[in-house]
A and B are shown apart, each in its own frame.
Chain A
Amino acid sequence: MSESVTHAAIETVAQDSYGRLIAYLAARSGDVAGAEDALGDAFIAALRRWPAEGVPEKPEAWLLHVARNRMIDAARRKQVQQKSETFLQQITEEAASVAATQEYFPDERLKLLFVCAHPAIDPSAQTPLMLQTVLGVDAARIASAFLVSPAAMSQQLVRAKNKIRDAAIPFRVPEPPELEERVSFVLDAIYAAYTTGWESLMETASTHHALASEAIALG
């Protein structure tokens, strides 16, 4: 298979599944940054191996498998605590069953949205966090949309992800009566994502269309 075809395939998977893959990995570990690192490694592995080996039948499952192994390695290096042990066991079983039987792995993006827009997260970080983790918009682009320096934006995102992990903000869809209050935070953040998409339309990038329509779909 030619390199450009595989690259196109990888790009398609990245566009279609990035947020779902992040949400799936983060919901089980409680660690958004760890999930991003692991998935980044998985994409690098795909760029290296798919041109030679061909695009796997289930590219998402393949990426998930590699990312899961990276997270296991990372957790081992960090002296496994009880929490991550449970996680490792859980994710190993789930990833195995996803790879073996299911066409699709569970969609946890809604939970990820509720985490990004959790009231315990700095309000100014909520929408950027959502854009980065759920929609896969890169930090530099987010920074320019929010008129802050890339360094400041990165720092804000890192701080938010650390809080998610360290304060153990749970990946869950709240139940009533909490739901009503929490949904308003999510909608505010999605609305901000939506306007970012429109304002940047002049910049020609077609992914912004996708950004707005994905914001609509998730809303």
Chain B
Amino acid sequence: MKYALLVHQSQEHFDRRNDKAAVAAGRAYAEALQAAGVFVAGAGLDSPRNATTVSIRDGKRQVHDGPYAETKEFLAGFGIIDVPNLDAALEWAARHPAAGFASIEVRPLLGFGSAKA
């Protein structure tokens, strides 16, 4: 089963993402995922200020400055992991270095039955 780990955090914590400790923790986590063979993909996201939202309505492209929804906590990064079940995914989510101050939303990917199941 593939799951997305979606990191929702506040601006305050987002601003501190380049702190030495945060960078080191992030790297260690990525290495742990890779060592366990569960890492599929992942990235941190740039500020929602740099987001542009696109939609097509009545056949016309509409482009807006900003994220889909303005919220206090926003999507700051994501990872995709391949693990046997939800409990395993929750365990990896709990190990995420941002779990202590941000919220990690765990969502199954559609239509990706795991080779390991």
Contact = CB atoms under 8 A, between A and B. Distances in A.
Contacts of B90: 120
A172 B87 contact: yes
A83 B117 CA distance: 6
A81 B86 contact: no
Interface residues of B, number: 12
Given A167-B108, A168-B1, A168-B108, A82 B87 contact: no
Contact of B117 (A86, A166, A174): A86
Nearest to B117: A83
B4 to A, nearest CB: 12
29 contacts: A81-B113, A82-B113, A82-B115, A82-B117, A83-B113, A83-B114, A83-B117, A86-B117, A118-B86, A120-B86, A120-B90, A166-B108, A167-B86, A167-B108, A168-B1, A168-B84, A168-B85, A168-B86, A168-B108, A169-B85, A169-B86, A169-B87, A170-B84, A170-B85, A170-B86, A170-B87, A170-B88, A172-B87, A174-B87
Interface string A71-98: 0000000000111001000000000000
- Chain B interface main SS type: loop
A30 to B, nearest CB: 8
A127 to B, nearest CB: 20
Contacts of A166: 108
Interface in A157-185: 166-170, 172, 174
A167 B108 CA distance: 6
A161 B117 CA distance: 19
Contacts, number: 30
Contacts of A86: 117
A57 B86 CA distance: 39
Contacts of B117: 82-83, 86, 168
Nearest to A171: B85
Contacts of A81: 113
A81 B110 CA distance: 13
Nearest to A30: B85
A73 B51 CA distance: 48
Given A168-B1, A170-B85, 16 more contacts: A82-B113, A82-B115, A82-B117, A83-B113, A83-B114, A86-B117, A120-B86, A120-B90, A166-B108, A168-B85, A169-B86, A169-B87, A170-B84, A170-B86, A170-B87, A172-B87
Contacts of A169: 85-87
Nearest to B108: A167
B108 to A, nearest CB: 5
A188 B55 CA distance: 46
A172 B90 CA distance: 14
A34 B84 CA distance: 20
Interface string B71-98: 0000000000000111110100000000
